[in-house]
Amino acid sequence: MKNDKYKGLLNTLKGLEDVLLQMAIHRGYNELERCVIILEDDPPAFFEALQPLMQYIRKHRLSQPLIITRRFVENSLDAYPLEFLDMQTQYRNLLENTDILAGLQFEKSDLRLQMERELRSKWLLTRQAGLTNPFRLKLLKSIIGESRTSLYPVLKGFFALSQKSVPHTLTEAIQKGESICGCELSLFSTPIAGINDFSRYVEMLDQLIIKVQGWQI
């Protein structure tokens, strides 16, 4: 099983015990798992020291872990609050000398700014991509699939702005998020049947932009 393969990652980090703070497996609303490794500092000969880890993930066909330091995390919360919120809300530790993720706190103004930026970007890119061939269903599904996945952390952001617990499943987030966002969110999960659904998805993003733009901090 994949979980067992992830546990084997610990054996590849022997010699790094002094700098290893946390190794966690994060799972997003898309159900994909990714390992996050947080170090106190980068080890000497960083690239060489982590080659056993890289060889292991290639052998077992795992996603490349996100390898960062405590300082990077602390200095990046204003730039990447959604990414760290996404990690914080659903993870399990494989190793926990210090649970960095559990203690993260975010400024609402930083969350709101990144949420608006992500929504505006995906609204524009999705609409432009749909012009390529609006009658090719396979293309529309692919465009929406990529857009949805990238915006799942934004959905979590609305709960954080509202000071509510972030749901662990997409289904629950959609159900509870509709009252927070003031619009229907079903198109974050329902299949796209054609250009009408595609247009409705773009309209939903526009409604979310208006909502977050007017959010009072």
* Residues 117 and 205 grouped into a single domain: yes
End-to-end CA distance of the chain: 44
Q: Would you call 9 exposed, middle or buried from its count of C-beta atoms within 10 A (0-12, 13-18, 19+)?
A: buried
Tens-digit pLDDT profile for residues 162-207: 999 999 999 999 999 999 999 999 999 999 999 999 999 999 999 9
* Residues 6 and 92 grouped into a single domain: yes
Specify the number of domains making up the chain.
Answer: 2
* Cα gap 163→69, rounded to integer Å: 28
* Residues 206 and 114 grouped into a single domain: yes
Picking from 85, 103, 121, the residue at the C-terminal end of a domain is: 103
* Residues 78 and 113 grouped into a single domain: no
* Cα gap 31→172, rounded to integer Å: 14
- The pLDDT value recorded for residue 209 is 98
* Cα gap 135→195, rounded to integer Å: 7
* Residues 91 and 164 grouped into a single domain: no
**Domain range for 57:** 2-103
* Residues 116 and 34 grouped into a single domain: no
Map residue 92 onto helix, strand or coil.
strand
Mean pLDDT over all residues of the chain?
A: 95
* Residues 135 and 71 grouped into a single domain: no
Amino acid identity at 163: Q
Q: Which residues pair with 36 in a beta bridge?
A: 24, 66
* Residues 10 and 62 grouped into a single domain: yes
- The pLDDT value recorded for residue 3 is 54
What does DSSP say about strands 66-69 and 33-39: parallel, antiparallel, or unpaired? Answer: parallel
Picking from 39, 73, 103, the residue at the C-terminal end of a domain is: 103
Amino acid identity at 151: L
- The pLDDT value recorded for residue 1 is 45
* Cα gap 187→140, rounded to integer Å: 13
Stated pTM of the model: 0.93
Q: Which residues pair with 68 in a beta bridge?
A: 38
Tens-digit pLDDT profile for residues 5-54: 888 899 999 899 999 999 999 999 999 999 999 999 999 999 999 999 99
* Residues 14 and 95 grouped into a single domain: yes
Picking from 103, 127, 145, the residue at the C-terminal end of a domain is: 103
Q: Which of 102, 83, 82 is nearest to 91 (CA)?
A: 102
Q: Which of 169, 173, 199 is nearest to 185 (CA)?
A: 173
* Residues 155 and 209 grouped into a single domain: yes
